Amino acid sequence: GAVVSQHPSRVICKSGTSVKIECRSLDFQATTMFWYRQFPKKSLMLMATSNEGSKATYEQGVEKDKFLINHASLTLSTLTVTSAHPEDSSFYICSAGPGLAGLDEQFFGPGTRLTVL
Binding site for other proteins (CB under 8 A): 2, 4, 6, 32, 34, 41-44, 46, 49, 91, 93, 95, 101-111, 113
Q: Is 57 exposed, middle or buried (0-12, 13-18, 19+ CB in 10 A)?
A: middle
Q: How far is the CB of 117 from other proteins (least distance, A)?
A: 20
Q: Rank residues 75 and 106 by Cβ distance to other proteins and give the closer one.
A: 106
- Euclidean distance between CA atoms 114 and 12, whole angstroms: 6
Q: Rank residues 72 and 101 by Cβ distance to other proteins and give the closer one.
A: 101
Q: How far is the CB of 27 from other proteins (least distance, A)?
A: 14
Q: How far is the CB of 36 from other proteins (least distance, A)?
A: 8
Rg (alpha carbons) of the chain, rounded to whole number: 13
